[in-house]
Amino acid sequence: MSGHGFHVHGPHDHELEHAAQGGHAPHDNGGGMIAQIAVVTAIIATVGALFSYMGGATQANAGLYKNNAAIKKTEAANQWNYFQSKSTKQALAEFARDLAPEDKRVAYQSKIDRYEKEKNEIKTGADKLEAQAQAWDKSSDEQLHQHHRWAQATTVLQVSIALAAIALLTRKKWLEYGMFALAGVGVVLGGLAVLHI
């Protein structure tokens, strides 16, 4: 046995030799898993950043549209106050007409007719402003709903990235599948946001 000794490799020694020769450790699930998860994670992070941007934009739009609705409601309220003042003037003119002598009633009636015409014009304008306020409110609600969809999509993609990190650390294939599944759900939610659903 002089010079021909037994050399026994343990599992750890074998993996070190394999890694030194440029191969991957057998428990690595192949180097492909790491590369695949890294590429997919980068793609998910990019899509998530875009979704996050869209979520912020729709949230800002919702606030702006709600502000526009409030402005139109205020303008409509001002018109209704103006309408009320014309109604009061008309009522006073009708009262004065009814109390005035016969020869003065024609002058009051012309004022009453003018107030009625002005009231109709004011009412038309106020109704139009109220319709605009409702349209802005509806647009705001739609933007807010869309913002929620973007936020849901972004959150699911972030969880998917977290699963990717855990999959890399634990080398568990089922976590990798979970990452892909969640990424798919995130993309679907982003699609629903694009479609305003």
**Which has more confidence, 23 or 178?**
178
- At 20, is the pLDDT very low, low, confident or very high (cuts 50, 70, 90)? very low
Q: What is the mean pLDDT of the chain?
A: 85
Mean pLDDT of 87-93: 93
pLDDT at 14 over 50: no
How much is the pLDDT for 175? 87
- Render pLDDT for 175-197 as a digit per residue (tens, 0 to 9): 889 999 999 999 999 999 989 88
How much is the pLDDT for 31? 63
Q: What is the DSSP secondary-structure string of 113-155? A: HHHHHHHHHHHHHHHHHHHHHHHHHHHHHHHHHHHHHHHHHHH
- Render pLDDT for 99-145 as a digit per residue (tens, 0 to 9): 989 888 898 899 999 999 999 999 999 999 999 999 999 999 999 99
How much is the pLDDT for 182? 92
How much is the pLDDT for 15? 40
How much is the pLDDT for 167? 87
Dig out the tokens for 44 from the structure.
Answer: 């998910």
Specify the range with the lowest mean pLDDT, choosing from 21-30, 37-46, 59-68, 162-171: 21-30
pLDDT at 17 over 80: no
How much is the pLDDT for 172? 86
Question: Domain spans of the chain?
Answer: 34-194
**Which has more confidence, 64 or 17?**
64
How much is the pLDDT for 34? 83
Nearest to 144 by CA among 40, 55, 13, 46: 55
For 37, 76, 122, 175, the CA distances from 28, given in Å and listed in that order, are 13, 69, 77, 14
